[in-house]
Amino acid sequence: MSMSTNEYEIREDCLYTGKHIWVKVEKGIATIGISDYAQKKMQEILTVELPHLNERIEAGEIIGSLGSIDSALDIISPVSGKIIDVNEELLDNPELINESPYDRGWIVKIEMKNEEELYGLMDPEDYRKYIEEMAEE
């Protein structure tokens, strides 16, 4: 099943990773979730594993996971810092990620240690191209 980039939402106020994680930064706090593209690929998300509050993490570290009937996705943090909030509503309602990946389906908030890590992420335009290239493979 191939999807064109018009079939899913890419938020203009977010940055993205190659693992389909989005990051929205406000005042040194990074809110993180999975992109609309990723949730559509996974289809119905059934399980969510979240990290612990106040845990210190490094960019590139697995901080949680999502599961559907036939796939799993590790949530890899794009930034280093301290976890200051987790979306516990997802534990009982993992479908929020499918219904609202950028709003109600956010996963974690991290107080960033190094904003320079953001330079390694894709802007919306680059992410759009990245997905188009994946769809062609």
Q: Does residue 87 lie within any of the structural domains?
A: yes
CA distance 107 to 4: 25
- Express each pLDDT in 11-68 by its tens digit: 999 999 999 999 999 999 999 999 999 999 999 999 999 999 999 999 999 999 999 9
Q: How many domains does the chain contain in total?
A: 1
- Express each pLDDT in 72-127 by its tens digit: 999 999 999 999 999 999 999 999 999 999 999 999 999 999 999 999 999 999 99
CA distance 36 to 3: 12
137 pLDDT more than 80: no
Q: Does residue 29 lie within any of the structural domains?
A: yes
What is the domain extent for residue 114? 10-130
CA–CA distance from 130 to each of 27, 44, 57, 115 (Å)? 28, 23, 27, 23
Residue 83: predicted pLDDT:
98
pTM score above 0.85: yes
Q: Does residue 19 lie within any of the structural domains?
A: yes
In this structure, what DSSP letter does residue 80 have? -
Residue 5: predicted pLDDT:
54
Q: Does residue 54 lie within any of the structural domains?
A: yes
Q: Does residue 136 lie within any of the structural domains?
A: no
Q: Does residue 3 lie within any of the structural domains?
A: no
CA distance 42 to 91: 17
Question: What are the structure tokens assigned to 65, written together?
Answer: 């996971």
Q: Does residue 110 lie within any of the structural domains?
A: yes
Q: List the beta bridge partners of residue 24.
A: 31
CA distance 101 to 69: 18
Q: Which residue has the higher pLDDT, 135 or 93?
A: 93
Question: What are the structure tokens assigned to 46, written together?
Answer: 């059934």
* Phi, psi for 66 (deg, rounded to 5): -125, 145
CB 105 within 8 A of CB 9: no
CATH code, domain with 67: 2.40.50.100
CB 53 within 8 A of CB 59: no
Q: Does residue 32 lie within any of the structural domains?
A: yes
CA distance 62 to 4: 29
